[in-house]
Amino acid sequence: MDIKKVIVVTGASRGIGAATALLAAARGYAVCVNYLKNRAAADVVVAEIEAKGGQAIAVAADVSSEHEVVSLFEAVDRQLGTLTALVNNAGVLETQMRVDQMDAARLNRVLTANVTSCFLCAREAVRRMSSKFGGSGGAIVNVSSAASRLGSAGEYVDYAASKGAVDTLTIGLAREVATEGIRVNAVRPGFIYTDIHASGGEPGRVDRVKEFVPMKRGGRPEEVAAAILWLLSDEASYATGTFIDLAGGR
List residues near ligand NAP by CB under 6 A. 10-17, 34-38, 41, 62-64, 89-92, 113, 143, 145, 189, 191-192, 194-196
Smallest distance from ligand NAP to CB 69, Å: 9
For ligand NAP, the closer CB: 13 or 55? 13
Smallest distance from ligand NAP to CB 179, Å: 28
**Extended strands (E) in the chain:** 5-9, 29-35, 56-60, 85-88, 138-143, 182-189, 243-246
The answer to whether 4 touches 31, Cβ cutoff 8 Å, is no
SS (H, E, C) 2-32: CCCEEEEECCCCCHHHHHHHHHHHHCCEEEE
For 23-33, letters b (16+ CB in 10 Å) and e give bbbeeebbbbb
Angle at CA 224, nearest 5°, toward 82 and 186?
A: 60
Active-site residue (options: 29, 156, 159, 193): 159
For ligand NAP, the closer CB: 130 or 229? 229
The answer to whether 169 touches 122, Cβ cutoff 8 Å, is yes
**Which residues partner with 57 through β-bridges?**
32
For ligand NAP, the closer CB: 135 or 156? 156
For ligand NAP, the closer CB: 16 or 122? 16
Is 238 in the active site? no
Angle at CA 26, nearest 5°, toward 24 and 27?
A: 65
Smallest distance from ligand NAP to CB 153, Å: 16
For ligand NAP, the closer CB: 9 or 130? 9
User: Helix, strand or coil for residue 126?
Assistant: helix
Residues marked active site are found at: 159
